[in-house]
């Protein structure tokens, strides 16, 4: 599976995600003893003077009893000279699920080079928890860039592959290593495993790609997992996120949903120029299906040509644009459901009223049997001279 690579330049803004909970979220609880909430997150970020760093912290309620306050105030100590900090949000509303707050540290051009330990405090008025983060202020650019990640969808038990790209950023920068070591920082469920086909990755002027394979099992829960991949050369660190969706297998499905089932036999009163009935036709495919589905329309009885000179025809379209015949819908790893409009149109004058049944068929290109779904169109009498039932 190939993915477009979006490069992250670490010298301007550094984002650090730390920890890992079973849900796939970056959550590491603080050993808070008897506190009524937990604090996780932190990590390491490097910026140049004048740059900004983001640290993600997580909070969650640990007990319901004796909770006098569910709002937690955040603060930070240990900022370097010339730096400012803010949390978003602050205060944080606690819940049973982890809630993120992002600490943003903005340095100035005059912030001294050095390594700073930031102490983050969280208090609800009764309990106070603390957690450290490390800010490295260094001159020069990050000597490598890391890109890739992307999205993939698999069934439980299947594997997904993501491309992680590494290339040189500044040939003149000092580096502690000519290679980048890759690791999965957070997001893996306990039923998943991860491996890189190239690790460490050499830093070269042209991009070198390592393929990250995430193997799920039949026991992997259905859900969306944000898997954070870290790359480091011993000093600088970059991260990218891979989004893995584990989905139920699904099945082929064809749905015909009526929007307006009426059409008039001719222009006039009381129904006006009602020359079209419309339906939404939805085709769903399994998440593993890559191919096409052919759509077709027919009347169940041989009543497509009704009346003297007038006919009813079915036309598939997207919006106002008719789809070319034969109608074929394309599906892939990212497209598993499509909806088009079926318009049953009157051409000419019909000399009957009543209900006519029709059928829509959908045939997958290389797997599964033809799906069938039916509906009805009702022809109404505008002038009072049509024969009921035709």
Nearest Cα to Cα of residue 287 among 251, 339, 328: 251
Superfamily designation of domain 144-246: Immunoglobulins (2.60.40.10)
Highest mean pLDDT (candidates 21-35, 199-213, 303-317): 199-213
30-53 mean pLDDT: 75
Q: What is the mean pLDDT of residues 121-146?
A: 83
- Output the pLDDT for position 300: 66
Q: Are strands 311-318 and 43-47 parallel, antiparallel or unpaired?
A: unpaired
Q: Kindly indicate the confidence band of residue 306, based on its pLDDT and cuts at 50, 70 and 90.
A: very low
Residue among 14, 38, 191 at smallest CA distance from 118 = 14
Of residues 46 and 303, more confidence is placed in 46
Cα–Cα–Cα angle for 194, 196, 200, rounded to 5 degrees: 130
Classify residue 50 by its DSSP letter. Answer: T
What CATH number labels 13-137?
Answer: 2.60.40.10
- As a whole-number percent, the residues of the chain with pLDDT over 70 amount to 80
Alpha carbon distance 346, 66 (integer Å): 70
pLDDT confidence of residue 248: 76
Question: Which residue is it, tokens 């790209």?
Answer: 165
Is the pLDDT higher at 8 or at 355? Answer: 355
Confidence of residue 52 (pLDDT cuts 50, 70, 90): confident
**Average pLDDT across the chain, whole number:** 80
The domain segmentation of the chain, as residue ranges, is 13-137, 144-246, 253-388
pLDDT digits (tens, 9 = 90+) for 355-365: 899 999 999 98
Mean pLDDT for 122-130 is 90
Per-residue pLDDT at 65 exceeds 60: no
- What is the pLDDT averaged over residues 276-301? 88
Pairing mode, strands 92-93 and 387-388: unpaired
Burial annotation 178-190 (CB, 10 A radius, 16+ → b, else e): ebbebebbbbbbe
Q: What mean pLDDT comes out for the span 159-167?
A: 92
Give the tens place of pLDDT for each residue, 222-256.
888 989 898 887 777 788 889 998 887 777 889 99
Among 47-51, 197-201, 259-263, the least confident range: 47-51
pTM: 0.41
Q: What is the third-level CATH fold of 253-388?
A: Immunoglobulin-like (2.60.40)
| pLDDT score at 230 | 86
The pLDDT value recorded for residue 390 is 44
**What was the pLDDT predicted at 307?**
44
Res 7: pLDDT: 35
Q: How far apart are CA 390 and CA 385, in angstroms?
A: 11
Judged against a pLDDT cut of 80, whether residue 35 lies above it is answered with no
Q: Which of 18-22, 45-49, 151-155, 230-234 has the lowest mean pLDDT?
A: 18-22
Q: Which of 137-141, 148-152, 270-274 has the lowest mean pLDDT?
A: 137-141
Lowest-pLDDT range of 6-10, 207-211, 355-359: 6-10
User: Of 20-24, 120-124, 281-285, where does mean pLDDT reach its minimum?
Assistant: 20-24
Q: Binning pLDDT at 50, 70 and 90, where does residue 268 land? A: confident
Alpha carbon distance 310, 302 (integer Å): 14
């Amino acid at each position: 599976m190939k993915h477009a690579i979006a490069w992250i330049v670490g010298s301007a803004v550094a984002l650090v995600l730390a920890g890992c909970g079973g849900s796939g979220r970056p959550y590491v609880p603080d050993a808070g003893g008897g506190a009524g909430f937990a604090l996780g997150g932190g990590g390491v970020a490097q910026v140049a003077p004048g740059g900004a760093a983001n640290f993600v912290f997580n909070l969650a309620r640990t007990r319901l009893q004796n909770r006098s306050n569910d709002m937690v105030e955040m603060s930070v100590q240990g900022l370097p000279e010339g730096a400012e900090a803010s949390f978003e949000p602050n205060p944080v509303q606690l819940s049973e699920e982890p809630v993120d707050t992002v600490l943003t540290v903005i340095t100035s051009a005059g912030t001294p080079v050095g390594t700073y330990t930031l102490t983050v405090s969280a208090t609800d008025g009764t309990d106070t928890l603390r957690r450290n983060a490390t800010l490295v202020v260094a001159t020069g650019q990050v000597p490598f860039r890391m890109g890739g990640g992307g999205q993939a969808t698999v069934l439980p038990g299947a594997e997904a592959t993501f491309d992680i790209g590494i290339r040189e950023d500044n040939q003149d920068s000092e580096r502690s290593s000519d290679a980048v070591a890759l690791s999965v920082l957070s997001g893996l469920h306990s039923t998943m495993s991860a491996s890189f086909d190239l690790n460490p990755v050499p830093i070269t002027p042209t991009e070198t790609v390592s393929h990250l394979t995430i193997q799920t099992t039949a026991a992997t829960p259905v859900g969306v997992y944000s898997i954070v991949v870290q790359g480091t050369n011993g000093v600088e660190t970059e991260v990218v996120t891979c989004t893995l969706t584990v989905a139920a297998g699904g099945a082929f499905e064809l749905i015909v949903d009526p929007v307006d089932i009426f059409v008039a036999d001719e222009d006039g009163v009381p129904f006006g120029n009602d020359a079209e009935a419309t339906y939404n036709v939805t085709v769903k495919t399994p998440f593993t299906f890559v191919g096409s589905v052919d759509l077709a329309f027919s009347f169940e009885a041989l009543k497509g040509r009704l009346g003297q000179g007038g006919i009813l025809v079915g036309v598939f379209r997207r919006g106002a644009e008719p789809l070319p015949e034969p109608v074929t819908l394309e599906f892939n790893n990212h497209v598993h459901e499509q909806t088009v409009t079926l318009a049953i149109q009157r051409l000419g004058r019909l000399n009957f009223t009543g209900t006519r049944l029709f059928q829509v068929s959908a045939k997958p290109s290389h797997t599964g049997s033809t799906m069938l779904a039916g509906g009805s169109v009702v022809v109404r009498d505008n002038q009072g001279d049509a024969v009921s039932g035709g």
